[in-house]
Amino acid sequence: MFSLKRKGDYRVQLTRTLKKPGRYRIELYLFTPHESNFSAWTMTEQQFYFSALLHRFGLLGLPAQERASKEDSTFALLSPHYEITYGSWLFRYTASMDRLRQQLQSSGAAASEPIARALRLTETYASRLRRTVPEQTGQQRYFRQMDIYFSWYAEQFLLECMTLAGYEELDADLRESIEEFLLEEYRIRKEREYLADFHGKPTRVWNRMSLYHRLLEYPVLLRSKRTELGEGTRKLVKAATTTLIMGLFTYILFNARTGSQLSITLLLGIAMIYGIRDLLRDDLITMVTRWLRKGRPRWKNRLLMPYTNQLMAQQAVWLDYCKVNDLPRDVLENAGKWATEERHIVCYRTQLNMTRDALEQNEIQERLNLDCEPLCELIEPTRNRLFASADAEEPFASIEAHPIEKQHDYNLLLIFNEPGARHTSAQRWRLRLGASGIVECESKKINWPEPEQQTPRPWYRQLRRR
């Protein structure tokens, strides 16, 4: 299952953990609302893929029980294995904390169990991280950034828990343990001269920690080498079109010359036809190329191990704007009122082939980011106001004017499967967007067929829409 998390005002992030090799498929459908003017004219498919979608994979390391034998404090790792190993530990820790944060945010109140678990995870990771301090200069710089970011991240999580409703009603020992941990973190910052990184305006501190996050994330992100497919087909279509047109013109000229019918009018007519051909050539080539490549992937990504460039996985990517009639049968049967015939539907599909060697020493975290800022820019701001009385007992004593913000509802449908499984699973969310960003993100129930109700399709049909 995927977990959805808001990232800032415009972005949402879908994450899951890949634990076994095989073939992973994802189909993501973004149903645009009737009020939106979203189309290929406002944003092309290629622009949407490169500006609104970010699909990344990161190393998480192995679970604690599988790497217990490898945690020897006397073992000194050499770069870049040090950065890869410790970075994967950090992002496994942050992934666990994000799941706990999601549990607390969904409940809206402080709960003893997730907060106690978060404190145990934090203390365990702090002990593992600070057990040894590297001696190499490059490793010391990486360790310092990681220690600072971890201290800030853990503090922010615990301080956020303190702001939840019902925190004061939790067990006194738990609240005391949290306060002791925070005081210990402050002592460590002062002792290791970290306080300068925590001083400044809140925006500056936030941006500094975001920079540390990107630097720490770099060694554990799989390198992606993207190749755009279909260039050979486009060149062949272009050559065939030019050959056909030039052959036709040459035939007409030779016949006209033989029949002594060569005139200025004929030459002007040929020149006009040739100009029209140049005017329509690009659109014609694009149309024929897309027809020939219908159902085939548009991009191919090779995911490589950081530093060593070892091939970890291969990914095929599709992205199309489609109508309701173009949807697959199982999606169309469960689409319901989400889509209308005149609206565009963004269909993003990927097929990931994960090698067995990729998961021997690490689990892979898959992250799919959707940037809604281009969609929010399509919402025109409004100055409409709703007038209402401020006091129900004296309705005309005072009148309040409430500004109205124009909003659009997008439906996000995600279909995925696990390696070796003959059935698919689905999740659905509703994204309510305003001109200034995401207003609301809500998970919705979906009436998806059960595994025993799904009929397996041949492999060559699973790559096509219908």
**pLDDT, tens digit, 9 for 90 and up, residues 1-19:** 888 888 888 999 999 988 8
333 plus 424 within the same structural domain: yes
Q: How far is Cα 245 from Cα 283, in angstroms, rounded to an integer?
A: 15
310 vs 263: which has the higher pLDDT: 310
Looking at the structure, do residues 323 and 414 belong to the same domain, yes or no?
A: yes
Window from 249-258, 318-327, 388-397 with minimum mean pLDDT: 249-258
- The contacts of residue 29 (CB under 8 Å, 6+ apart) are 327, 331, 345, 346, 347, 348, 412, 413, 414, 415
Regarding whether 344 and 407 lie in a shared domain, the answer is yes
Q: Looking at the predicted structure, is the pLDDT value of residue 266 above 80?
A: no
The angle, 0 to 180 degrees and rounded to 10, between the axes of the packed helices 231-258 and 264-292 is: 160
Q: Averaged over 77-93, what is the pLDDT?
A: 82
Residue 173: C-alpha distances to residues 101, 162, 170 (Å): 21, 14, 9
Confidence at residue 322, expressed as pLDDT on a 0 to 100 scale: 87
DSSP states along 228-269:
ETTHHHHHHHHHHHHHHHHHHHHHHHHHHHHTT---HHHHHH
**C-alpha closest to that of 220 among 361, 125, 100, 64:** 361
To 5 degrees, how large is the angle CA 28–CA 34–CA 39? 65
pLDDT of residue 465: 47
How much is the pLDDT for 122?
94
- Residues with Cβ within 8 Å of residue 439, at least 6 apart in sequence: 405, 407, 432, 433
Are the beta carbons of 70 and 88 closer than 8 angstroms?
Answer: no
In a domain, 177, yes or no: no
For residue 335, name the pLDDT band (cuts at 50, 70, 90).
low
**pLDDT for position 216:** 92
Report d(CA 378, CA 458) in Å as an integer.
40
Residue 334 has a pLDDT of 67
The residue among 245, 272, 292 that closes a domain is: 292
Task: Please report whether residue 132 resides in a domain.
Answer: no
User: Residue 366 corresponds to which tokens in the numbers above?
Assistant: 């898959």
The predicted model scores a pTM of 0.80
Alpha-carbon torsion 38, 42, 48, 51, what sign? Answer: negative
Instruction: Check whether 70 has a pLDDT greater than 60.
Output: no
State residue 180's pLDDT score. 94
Q: Is the pLDDT confidence value at 98 over 60?
A: yes
**Residue (of 12, 21, 5, 38) closest to 362 by Cα position:** 21
CA–CA gap between residue 457 and residue 138 (Å, rounded): 52
Reference 399, options 409, 410, 388; nearest CA is 388
If asked whether residues 429 and 349 sit together in one domain, one would say yes
391, 363: one domain: yes
Domain contains 327: yes
* E strand map for 11-138: 11-18, 22-31, 53-59
In a domain, 166, yes or no: no
pLDDT for the residue numbered 452: 73
Could you tell me how far CA 436 lies from the centroid of its own chain? 20
Listed range (44-58, 62-76, 91-105, 260-274) with the worst mean pLDDT: 62-76
Residue that is written with structure tokens 């050559």 in the block: 239
Among 292, 312, 337, identify where a domain stops.
292
Residues 279 and 415 in one domain: no
The answer to whether 364 and 58 are in contact (CB under 8 A) is yes
What DSSP string describes 133-149? Answer: ---SHHHHHHHHHHHHH
More confident residue, 136 or 202: 202
- Across the range 219-223, mean pLDDT stands at 90
Residue 107 lies in a domain: no
Q: Are 87 and 220 in contact (CB under 8 A)?
A: yes
The burial of 432, by beta-carbon neighbours within 10 Å (0-12 exposed, 13-18 middle, 19 or more buried), is given as: middle
| Secondary element (H or E) of residue 96 | helix 81-107
8 Å CB contact between 10 and 438: yes
- For the ranges 39-48, 336-345, 366-375, the maximum mean pLDDT occurs at 366-375
Are 60 and 91 a contacting pair, CB within 8 Å? Answer: yes
Q: Which residue has the higher pLDDT, 106 or 78?
A: 106
74 pLDDT above the threshold of 60: no
Query: Could you please report the per-residue DSSP string of 442-458?
Result: EEE---PPPGGGPPP--
Residues 424, 325, single domain; the answer is yes
- 418 is a domain residue: yes
Write down the H helix ranges in 108-230: 112-129, 137-162, 172-191, 195-198, 202-217
- pLDDT tens for each residue of 150-169: 999 999 999 999 998 888 88
Residue 290 has a pLDDT of 80
Examine the domain organization and report whether 274 and 248 are in the same domain: yes
The domain in which residue 431 lies consists of 1-50+303-466
C-beta separation of 50 from 367 below 8 A: no
CB 115 within 8 A of CB 174: yes
pLDDT above 90: residue 117? yes
Q: Span 111-134, mean pLDDT?
A: 90
Closest alpha carbon to 149 in 191, 103, 202, 91:
91
Same domain, 328 and 358: yes
**Res. 81: pLDDT tops 90:** no
Please identify which residue in the block is written with the tokens 């590297």: 134
- pLDDT above 70 covers what percent of the chain? 89
Residue 362 lies inside a defined structural domain of this protein: yes
Q: pLDDT by residue (tens digit) across 292-307?
A: 888 788 899 999 988 8
Do 271 and 337 reside in the same domain of the chain? no
- Among 250, 267, 292, identify where a domain stops: 292
**Which pLDDT score is estimated for 257?**
61
Residue 307 sits in the same domain as residue 440: yes
User: Is 189 contained in some domain?
Assistant: no
Q: Are residues 352 and 460 in the same domain?
A: yes
Predicted pLDDT of residue 348: 94
| Phi, psi at 65, each rounded to 5° | -70, -25
At residue 71 the predicted structure's pLDDT band, cuts being 50, 70 and 90, is low
On average, the pLDDT of the chain sits at 83
How many structural domains does the chain have?
2
How far is Cα 161 from Cα 105, in angstroms, rounded to an integer?
Answer: 10
Q: Which DSSP category does 436 fall into? A: T
pLDDT category of residue 198 using cuts at 50, 70 and 90: very high
What DSSP designation does 425 have? E
Q: What is the mean pLDDT of residues 323-336?
A: 76
Residue 73 has pLDDT above 50, yes or no: no
